[in-house]
Amino acid sequence: MGRTLLMIKPDGVEKGLIGRIIWFLEENGFKILGIRSKRFTREEAEKFYEVHRGKEFFGSLVDYITSGMVVGIMVEGEKAVEKIRELIGSTDPKKARVGTIRFMYGESIERNIVHASDSEESAERELKFFFEI
Ligand code: CMP
């Protein structure tokens, strides 16, 4: 068993996709261990996405992620990190596999509905932005 963070970004919240995304996770056999909504401060968003600091899209990413509420979901399941990344699809919705969350709902490489941790280490680091673990 492993756990990971799936975060619904402001565009996913605005589009009313919280329920559908939770349903999709459960439908795919994952267990929800925690859910918390919050609004990131700029400082938190910069820290959350610190691996992207210095890239040309960093400022715009921080603007977008602080533009509204996000929802952090702690997800548990076998090979959770790897499998949740498969379920959400490629960063760019245009390249995402049919049936993935980003394929179904993503608008652009930035407004791509959800984020999921890319390794077990990132998952533990990122879960701490939402949960006391
Ligand atoms: P996410 O998986 O949350 O990781 C970093 C985020 O930066 C990404 O999804 C997008 O929302 C955003 N982003 C914006 N532009 C780019 C880009 N050119 N390449 C990768 N990520 C981008």
Q: Tell me which residue has its CA closest to atom 14 in ligand 1.
A: 110
Cα 8 from Cα 115, distance rounded (Å): 7
What was the pLDDT predicted at 14? 98
Cα 90 from Cα 86, distance rounded (Å): 8
Confidence of residue 5 (pLDDT cuts 50, 70, 90): very high
**Catalytic residue ranges:** 115
Q: What is the DSSP letter of 93?
A: G
Q: How far is the CA of 100 from the centre of ligand 1 (A)?
A: 17
What was the pLDDT predicted at 29? 98
Q: Tell me which residue has its CA closest to atom 2 in ligand 1.
A: 115
Q: Which atom of ligand 1 is nearest to the CA of 88?
A: 2
Cα 26 from Cα 46, distance rounded (Å): 30
